[in-house]
Amino acid sequence: MYYKDLSKLIYRIFKKHNLSSKDSKICSDAITQSELVEATSHGLSRLKMYCDRINKKVINPKPKFKIKKISQSIYHIDADNSIGFVAAQKATNIAIKTAISKGFAMIGVKNSGHYGASSYYINQAVKKNLIALCFTNAPSAIAPYGSKKKMFGTNPISFGAPTKFKYPFIFDSSVSIINRGKIRLAAKQKKNIPYGVALDKSGKITTNPKKALEGVQLPIAGFRGSGLAWMVDILSGIFTGAAHGKSVRDPFDDFSGPQNVGHLFIFFKSSLFTNNFSKRMKESIINVKKLPKTKGTREIFYPGQQKYMKYNKNVKKKIKIPNKIKIEIKKLLVK
């Protein structure tokens, strides 16, 4: 199925689940984008989960946003248990407009949900010649360093900057060795996960995705990754007034109430301190690419470059959909 047809299909599913035409389009675009850049753990594999949460009335398909203006550049949004895509897009729109006008914008969001890939929103900012930072918390999966029990989510950190090259610089990474979505996708497809990325409930390394979901995911760089997970939980959860730590509900397994996920968007003009930012960025990338390469390395890529290359490749061909997800899509269409 080509991406345009897939996008229309996802749009129809969200419309059937009582989202407005505008909001259905936002959700469809975000999920399709994840498929195009091969971030499948944040694409179609989560579609049924969003619809299940709408059906269970723990996602509000018709949210009434409360937007509080703190200052000329700072806003606080109560997303009214909106689906995360719509809340994040609302914040992104405000942040871009404010940053262009005032030079800087900070938007905090509470009472939201999982919003897909952070790079989707960062990309919109860098297209406007803005530098962007984005944080969001997630259900507990990582144990604080020295603890046996999980507390913090895989809590991604996303950063973007414009370049004079074909593709912008976009770094988007969870603070776990692999993101939780990949483990869930492996469980759905009955595949093993890599060795050394997760522990089971007894604290032993496991390659079984179901046991990993019941246990603990390992952070990047030991205590440093644990600290980054905590930092993101502070910025997007504690700071915004959203849920934090273990109080963030798992969207797949906990339907007892809304997730109350928090997000924090910080966008600012790349020209705030220097008028030749893009030129300096280009120099930086060229300097890195000129470095001597390790054996087997043909090119040193900068963050975001390969993702854009995947997008350009996949936008011209059919997107492969696993059979299990095809079955889920058919069921969602007959709601």
Distance CA 7, CA 194 (A): 31
pLDDT of residue 147: 86
Q: Where are the alpha helices (DSSP H) in the chain?
A: 3-16, 21-36, 47-55, 84-102, 119-126, 180-188, 209-214, 223-233, 277-289, 305-314, 323-333
**Residue 335 clears pLDDT 80, i.e. is over it:** no
Instruction: Decide: 94 and 101 in contact? Cβ < 8 Å.
Output: no
Q: Judge whether residue 181 has pLDDT over 80.
A: yes
* Percent of the chain clearing pLDDT 70 (strictly above): 100
Report the topology of domain 62-176+219-289: Ribosomal Protein S8; Chain: A, domain 1 (3.30.1370)
- 135 - beta bridge partners? 157, 264
What mean pLDDT do residues 292-317 have?
96
CATH topology of domain 183-218: Wheat Germ Agglutinin (Isolectin 2); domain 1 (3.30.60)
The yes-or-no verdict on residue 109 having pLDDT over 90 is yes
Distance CA 73, CA 7 (A): 34
pLDDT of residue 227: 97
Q: Compute the average pLDDT of residues 157-186.
A: 94
Question: In the 8-state DSSP scheme, what is residue 140?
Answer: S
Average pLDDT in the 135-145 region?
Answer: 95
pLDDT over 90 for what percent of the chain?
A: 94
- What does pLDDT average to over the chain? 96
| CATH entry, 1-55+304-335, from 1.10.260.40, 1.10.1530.10, 1.10.490.10, 1.10.150.650 | 1.10.1530.10
- Full-prediction pTM beyond 0.85? yes
Three-state secondary structure string covering 5-21: HHHHHHHHHHHHCCCCH
Q: What is the pLDDT of residue 148?
A: 80
The predicted model gives 66-90 an average pLDDT of: 98
Determine the average pLDDT of the residues in 231-235: 98
Residue 202 vs residues 192, 197, 218, 223: alpha-carbon distances, Å = 18, 15, 14, 20
Domain spans of the chain, in order of start: 1-55+304-335, 62-176+219-289, 183-218
Mean pLDDT of 119-135: 98
Determine the Cα–Cα distance for residues 19 and 50; give it in Å rounded to an integer: 11
